[in-house]
Amino acid sequence: MRIGLGEGLSSRLAHAVAGLVARGHVVVEPGAGGSVDVVIGERPVAAAWRAVQGHARAVVLGLEQASHARWNPLERWAWAMLGAYGVVPEHEVDAFIARVPSEEHERLALWPVPTQVAAIVSPDTDVLERLCERALARRSAGPGRSALFVDRDGTLIVERHHLADPEQVELLPGVAEALRTVRAAGHPVVVVSNQAGVGRGLFDIARVHEVMARLRQLLRREGVELDAIRFCPHAPDAGCDCRKPEPRLFREAAEDLRLSLVASAMVGDKWIDVDAGHAVRGAGVLVRTGHGREELAVARPPEARAADLVCDDLPTAARWFLEQQDD
């Protein structure tokens, strides 16, 4: 995301914005030129002015009962006209909900219990990032869009076992152009990745975010913005419900971005990627990059559903995905 900032951010909101920057999002200073995706601020009028300057598609505000009670009529009008989204302290949400119309309740998210952790791994950053994604999706398009879900290692970037060094991130040939074409056709691109190295104690979640930030940076240089990144940090034997092929991360992304999973596709270099696509009634595509060729040599259970497509690489899979949308 390209982020514009309103004036006078609270320390909590500023900390979460710092987390977004650490995760590879970009803050665009006023007067720097170019558009922004979302404006983050505290005061509706100041945020509205910044949104006009940056041609922003969405506005997200940090809300507190005390400041909201002091809003003047112009600020209340700006909040309503912007269709702004807001993040509210949990202990104040009831009071805030009582002040706004019921149709605005879905535009609110809750700050989690405060924690003293680095911004890149802060739960506050998690909440703000997802709220920005939700706001952008709801201000940009109607529901039911089909998306291209993609695995990271071996599909987008060169496979390096338990990658933990951002400097080793290397895009595979043709990936950026393929994703740029998919997004230009109106389809979101969402990365869904299993990062078992965290659960196995090989590296921490901060490292995962740093590697993802490097991925965002490399793709941005090629004119590609990822719509969302979701990952599971658990070991394979943890019994969680977010590790592919489990559907949780896909369903969360679908809710946030207003996607139709049935019309979407998951592309990856392992059978668990194919199975994940099928688990949400979408398509599953296996590419031969990364572990793909090794996976093809493994016998599948008789009851396992075949891949909808087996192909050489992500660019080929992306072309197939777009052809399916035209049928």
Tell me, what's the pLDDT at 315? 98
Residue 209 or 114, more confident: 209
**What are the pLDDT digits (tens) for 118-153?**
999 999 999 999 999 999 998 877 778 999 999 999
Residue 169 or 75, more confident: 169
Under the banding of pLDDT at 50, 70 and 90, the label for residue 7 is: confident
**Residue among 151, 273, 275, 313 flagged as catalytic:** 151
**What are the pLDDT digits (tens) for 301-324?**
888 899 999 999 999 999 999 999
105, pLDDT greater than 90: no
**What are the pLDDT digits (tens) for 207-246?**
999 999 999 999 999 999 999 999 999 999 999 999 999 9
Any idea which fold 2-140 has?
A: Rossmann fold (3.40.50)
**What are the pLDDT digits (tens) for 253-291?**
999 999 999 999 999 999 999 999 999 999 999 999 999
Q: For residues 154 and 176, what is the distance between their CA atoms, to the nearest angstrom?
A: 14
Residue spans per domain, the chain: 2-140, 148-326
Mean pLDDT, all residues of the chain:
92
**What are the pLDDT digits (tens) for 52-96?**
888 999 999 998 877 777 888 998 888 888 889 999 888 887 877
Which architecture characterizes domain 148-326 according to CATH? 3-Layer(aba) Sandwich (3.40)
165, pLDDT greater than 90: yes
Tell me, what's the pLDDT at 255? 94
Mean pLDDT of all residues in 106-128: 92
Dihedral sign of CA atoms 144, 146, 147, 149 in order: positive
Under the banding of pLDDT at 50, 70 and 90, the label for residue 171 is: very high
Q: For residues 312 and 208, what is the distance between their CA atoms, to the nearest angstrom?
A: 27
153 flagged as catalytic: yes
Tell me, what's the pLDDT at 94? 80
151 flagged as catalytic: yes
Tell me, what's the pLDDT at 286? 98
Claim: this prediction has a pTM higher than 0.75: yes
Mean pLDDT of all residues in 165-180: 97
**Residue among 37, 124, 153, 308 flagged as catalytic:** 153
